[in-house]
Amino acid sequence: MRLQGKVALVTGSGRGIGRAISKLFAKEGAKLVINYSRSEKEAQSLAEELMKSGQEALLVKADASRSDEVKGMISQAIKRFARIDVLINNAGVLIPEPFLESTEETWDKTMAVNLKGAYLCSKEVAPTMLKQGIGKIINISSICGLAERTALRNTAYVVSKAVLHMQLFF
C-alpha cells in the first residue's frame, strides 16, 4: 500500500499499458482518475473493477491533445479528490505508415496526442503539484524512440517518443 492516500491520473488508461498501470496503482492504494478518449467500454469496465474491489476511481473522457478537455479533466479530478499526486502521460497513438507514404495528417495527429498531450496535461497539473509541494509526472515512451532503425516504418511515432525521452518540457 505504498500509494495509500495518493491520487493518480493515468491518461489513456482504458486499455493496454495505461490499464495495467492503473490496476497496479490501485493495488498499492491509490485513488485513480481513469482517462479515456475512445475506449469508453474498456475504461468503464476498469472503473467498475476497481470500485468493486473497494478502490476509489473517477472516470473522465478527455482527449489529451485538446487543451479545453485537459482543463476539464484536471478540474474534475481536483473537485473529486482535492489533489493529484501522480500524473502518468500514457495516452498515445501509433499509426503505422512508412515514411515515403506518410501524410501530414498522420504526423499532426501523432504529435498532438503523443507530445502535445503530455505537455498540456503536465502544464495543467503542475500548479496543483507545486501548491501541494509534491508530485510526480511520468511520461510513457517507447524503445522505438531510441531505435532509429524503426524510423522509416513509423516516422511520426518514433520522433514523438524520442522527444519524450529528452523530456524537453520539464
Selecting among 14, 34, 157, 161, the annotated active-site residue is: 157
What is the chain written as a DSSP string? -TTTT-EEEETTTTSHHHHHHHHHHHHTT-EEEEEESS-HHHHHHHHHHHHHTT--EEEEE--TT-HHHHHHHHHHHHHHHS---EEEE-------B-GGG--HHHHHHHHIIIIIHHHHHHHHHHHHHHHHT--EEEE---GGGT-GGGTTTBHHHHHHHHHHHHTTT-
- Residue environment code for 82-95, b if the CB has 16+ CB neighbours within 10 A, otherwise e: ebbbbbbbbbbbbe
Sign of the Cα torsion 71, 73, 76, 81 reads negative
Would you call 157 a catalytic residue per the annotation? yes
Q: Which residues are catalytic?
A: 157
